[in-house]
């Protein structure tokens, strides 16, 4: 009897404990489900915040890009303004204005005031190098390297039938470089870094004075950067760098009287076709800033008054 009673008692204990175990597992399952839901909510919230930040950043970037576009268009209008007194300077002077409550800074450099790497006379290039602090003998060598870089292989003899001086492919190989001179026009001013003998420090001094967009051997000194002014305004004995243009203005008709264009501006805006201008635009919005360097080429097409030649 005692055994029977003991067996029945144990059975009742097991039966009564089963609901408690099921309730415990159910509670654990509910807690895990709640934890998973909380994690999902947190992940969704984090994703939403991240997306919102990216969206906000993209919106601000788009706003800055619109400021840049407006700055380029405004600069083009300022260059070609028919009113001489309202015309914008093209000698690197910085101009500021507000666009949609954003601050925009613009500087314009007439490319005719720079030394063209592809068109300048060798003497002009060497004088510029000397003005940048290169010793005369080294300027001669580096100038020759620049000229040979841009000269086609089938056109590298002088009038006397001699080969032009300058570093050739074997010289680049001896210097440990795996390339030689292009033997063709410079595609950009940055390409000058590849010429044998050029250094980053020297390039930084020269770059503001150089272009590949004027397509002219002569330089318009009235809008030239300081280094070009220094190099070309003081003639050396026996030096022949070509007839560079001096600062000058031309009379324009304004109302009933002739009006002279302001210094540093284009004197004749009716003949801009074929002229290139480098425009630097910096825009600020909501603590962010964006800078673009753009080169535009004026055309004689009224529907497309200018084309973009470069955009950095």
In a domain? residue 48 = no
Q: pLDDT digits over 144-173, tens only?
A: 999 999 999 988 777 667 888 999 999 999
3-class DSSP assignment, residue 93: strand
Co-location of 106 and 147 in the same domain: no
Q: How far is CA 26 from CA 30, 36, 105, in A?
A: 6, 15, 67
The domain in which residue 3 lies consists of: 1-37
In a domain? residue 55 = no
Co-location of 180 and 140 in the same domain: yes
CA 62 to chain centre: 17
Residue 276: left (phi > 0), alpha (psi -120 to 50), or beta? Answer: beta
Work out the burial of residue 18: count CB atoms within 10 Å of its CB; fewer than 13 is exposed, 13-18 middle, 19 or more buried.
Answer: exposed
Give the global pTM: 0.76
**Stated length of the chain:** 312
In a domain? residue 69 = yes
pLDDT confidence of residue 252: 28
Co-location of 89 and 126 in the same domain: no
Co-location of 151 and 189 in the same domain: yes
Q: pLDDT digits over 80-122, tens only?
A: 999 999 999 999 999 998 888 899 999 999 999 999 999 999 9
Whether pLDDT at 6 is above 90: no
- Cβ distance 105 to 94 under 8 Å? yes
Buried/exposed 103-135: b ≥16 CB within 10 Å, e otherwise: ebbbbbbbbbbbbbbbbbebebbbbbbbbbebe
Name residue 98's beta-bridge partners: 103
- Cβ distance 293 to 312 under 8 Å? yes
**Closest among 124, 135, 147 to 231, alpha carbons compared:** 124
For the chain, the domain total comes to 3
183: pLDDT confidence band, cut at 50, 70 and 90? very high
Q: How far is CA 19 from CA 25, 28, 291, 309, in A?
A: 10, 14, 72, 82
Co-location of 204 and 147 in the same domain: yes
Co-location of 71 and 104 in the same domain: yes
In a domain? residue 57 = no
Give me the mean pLDDT over the 186-200 stretch.
98
Name residue 284's beta-bridge partners: 103, 289
Residue 175: left (phi > 0), alpha (psi -120 to 50), or beta? Answer: alpha
In a domain? residue 179 = yes
In a domain? residue 241 = no
pLDDT confidence of residue 278: 98
C-alpha 306/C-alpha 299 separation (Å) is 5
pLDDT confidence of residue 13: 52
Q: pLDDT digits over 35-82, tens only?
A: 787 787 777 776 666 665 656 668 888 889 999 999 999 999 999 999
DSSP code of residue 132 = T
Question: The CATH number of the domain where 156 resides is what?
Answer: 1.10.40.60
Co-location of 120 and 189 in the same domain: yes
Co-location of 149 and 107 in the same domain: no
Co-location of 128 and 177 in the same domain: yes
Co-location of 68 and 103 in the same domain: yes
In a domain? residue 4 = yes
Co-location of 109 and 123 in the same domain: no
Co-location of 155 and 300 in the same domain: no
In a domain? residue 49 = no
Name residue 189's beta-bridge partners: none
């Amino acid at each position: 009897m005692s055994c029977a009673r003991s067996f029945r008692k144990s059975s009742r204990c097991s039966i009564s404990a089963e609901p408690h175990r099921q309730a415990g597992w159910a509670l654990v399952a509910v807690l895990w489900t709640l934890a998973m839901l909380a994690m999902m909510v947190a992940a969704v919230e984090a994703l939403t915040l991240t997306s919102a930040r990216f969206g906000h950043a993209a919106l601000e970037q788009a706003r800055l890009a619109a400021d840049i576009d407006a700055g380029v268009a405004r600069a083009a209008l300022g260059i070609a303004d028919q009113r001489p007194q309202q015309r914008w300077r093209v000698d690197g002077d910085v101009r500021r204005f507000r666009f949609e409550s954003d601050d925009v800074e613009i500087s314009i450099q007439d490319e005719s005031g720079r030394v063209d790497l592809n068109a300048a006379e060798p003497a002009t290039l060497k004088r510029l190098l000397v003005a940048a602090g290169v010793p005369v003998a080294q300027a001669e060598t580096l100038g020759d390297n620049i000229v040979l870089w841009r000269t086609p292989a089938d056109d590298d003899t002088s009038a006397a039938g001699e080969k032009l001086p300058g570093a050739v492919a074997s010289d680049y190989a001896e210097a440990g470089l795996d390339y030689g001179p292009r033997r063709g026009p410079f595609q950009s001013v940055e390409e000058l870094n590849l010429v044998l003998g050029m250094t980053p420090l020297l390039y930084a001094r020269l770059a503001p004075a150089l272009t590949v967009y004027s397509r002219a051997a002569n330089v318009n000194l009235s809008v030239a950067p300081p280094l070009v002014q220094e190099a070309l305004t003081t003639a050396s004995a026996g030096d022949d760098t070509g007839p560079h243009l001096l600062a000058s203005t031309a009379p324009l008709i304004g109302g009933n009287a002739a009006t002279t264009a302001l210094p540093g501006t284009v004197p004749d805006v009716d003949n801009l076709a074929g002229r290139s201008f480098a425009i630097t635009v910096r825009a600020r919005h909501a603590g962010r800033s964006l800078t673009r360097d753009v080169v535009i080429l004026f055309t004689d097409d009224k529907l497309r008054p200018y084309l973009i030649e470069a955009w950095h």
